[in-house]
Amino acid sequence: MSDTKTNKRKSGRHKAARPADARQDEPIPALRTVPAEMVSLAKNKKGQPDPEEMGIVLHDPDKFAPQPAVLSPGAYALATLFNGERTAAEVAQIFRDQYGQEVTEKGIHDLARELDENLFLDSPHFEEVVRQTLQKFLSAPVRPTAHGGECYATDPEALMKEIEGYFASPEGPGKLAAKPEAKADEVAGVIVPHIDLRVGGPVYAHGYHALLERSQADLFVILGVAHRSAGTGLFNVSTKDYATPFGPAPTAKGIARRIQDAAAIDTAIAEYTHKEEFSIEFQAVLLAGLLGQRAMRSFEILPILCNSADPFIEEEINPASDDGFQRFLETLRKELDKSGRKWCVLASVDLSHVGPKFGHATNITEKLLLPVERADRRMLKKVETLDPDAFYFEIARTKNSRHVDGVLAMLALLTLGKDRFRSAQLLRYDQMLEVPTKSAVSYASMAMQTVK
């Protein structure tokens, strides 16, 4: 049985106690709850994955761990027995009973030590790293980029070429102007994707084309999705500027602080929810590049991550009837109106998430994308009515069986624009079929207009 395989970083920064320093009869810290993926570590003579050389890769979506950890199947089975209560002797006994294999207490401590050094155990060492990371993030005035290089280029010139390609694509709205100018001010809201920019670029481009050509806003409320929120509130507001390759997307800090108070959620949790989340980062990048650099327009943002509507759906309650939902959006709308500025709301959402990757039993094929599209378009027709209740009832009718993750964000968009939006127009719809996982995600762009 092999231990973890990682690129070790030699550092003396973290001095907290580790399993190797503990007494032999003390419990082993628990394995953190992180995604685990089985992969082939080698290829056979035909260049295909070798089923005899498999490993388990542990990923840390919160990015506390500097890199993934790779374990043998046996080591992973052993690590899953680390629950924070069992000693090495108890782990060895359970492993022997379950798998019929002997393992030494020293081997268990060695595995635990390496997992802890790489921040995959819920230990005092890990808690200290979390504390230091949280303190550093909260004290910084700017939220750093988290997905540059993965989902978009970090070099500004290369990134602008990527964005131009989204517009010029056959699926895009047409070539991006050298200096776009809004000759009208009739778009007060847009729905845009938050899927990887390199996947959904042309659909993004349709939404941003509407902003560039038909919105003169200089204050943008960005309603993103908190995919990994640690809080129990509905809205997580950040007061930080968002860093982008084009320079920071500045936040309207005064308004942000006041609506942060109205959200009635711990500010540290609200801020930290933004650290690794991409749904606002992608919009900040596009606003900074298209409005800030290309159109040379000054603007500010209000970054708001919306939590899941699933608890409301399960209890058959409309979030619009919730006091916290109403209080926050009423406060936000008052702040927007009294600011005297031209404002626009961006809902950064994807639509259906279907297939085994998202908990469904059915494998998604090209043929099955058609009923998904029909269901999505039926839902978007409800959005086009600009009636928040009609939209939510369409979601509740199926218990959100397609896992639309932007329900609260879209409901907030429609609520904020209730007496401002006069019409809505679907600009572009698309789907991504992920063949290896037999799963799919759909997304769209839509403009909410102040004219009929």
Determine the Cα–Cα distance for residues 7 and 174; give it in Å rounded to an integer: 45
Q: Does one domain contain both 95 and 234?
A: no
Q: Write down the pLDDT at residue 20.
A: 45
Query: Does some domain include residue 5?
Result: no
Q: Helix, strand or coil for residue 19?
A: helix
Domain count, the chain: 2
- What tens digit of pLDDT does each residue of 352-364 get? 999 999 999 999 9
Q: 54 in a domain, yes or no?
A: yes
Is 3 within a domain?
A: no
- pLDDT confidence of residue 11: 34
Verify that 32 and 64 share a domain, yes or no: yes
CATH code: domain of residue 377: 3.40.830.10
Q: Mean pLDDT by 10-residue block, N- to C-terminus, for the chain (452 residues)? A: 39 40 77 89 65 85 89 94 95 95 94 96 93 91 95 97 98 97 96 97 98 97 88 89 98 97 91 94 98 97 96 93 96 97 98 96 96 98 97 95 96 96 98 96 98 90
Rounded-to-integer distance, Cα 406 and Cα 308, Å? 8
Rg of the chain taking only CA atoms, in angstroms? 24
Single out the residue of 74, 124, 117, 127 nearest to residue 99, CA to CA: 74
Please tell me the distance from the alpha carbon of residue 117 to that of residue 237, in angstroms, as a whole number: 33
**Which helix (DSSP H) or strand (DSSP E) does residue 259 occupy?**
helix 253-262
Q: What is the pLDDT of residue 38?
A: 85
Q: Are 309 and 444 found together in one domain?
A: yes
- The whole-number pLDDT of residue 233 equals 84
User: pTM for the complete prediction?
Assistant: 0.84
The span from the CA of 317 to the CA of 325, in Å, is: 12
Pick the last residue of a domain from 89, 115, 134.
134
Going by the DSSP 8-state scheme, the letter that residue 9 receives in this structure is -
Domain ranges, residue 95: 19-134
Which letter does DSSP use for residue 66 in this model?
S
Residues 292 and 317 grouped into a single domain: yes
- Cα angle value 445/150/37 (rounded, 5°): 105
pLDDT score for 228: 81
pLDDT reported for residue 54: 84
pLDDT for res 4: 44
What's the confidence (pLDDT) of residue 196?
96
Q: 43-49 long-range contacts, Cβ below 8 Å, gap at least 24?
A: none
pLDDT given for residue 45 in this prediction: 64
Answer whether residue 428 is part of any domain.
yes
Same domain, 98 and 152: no
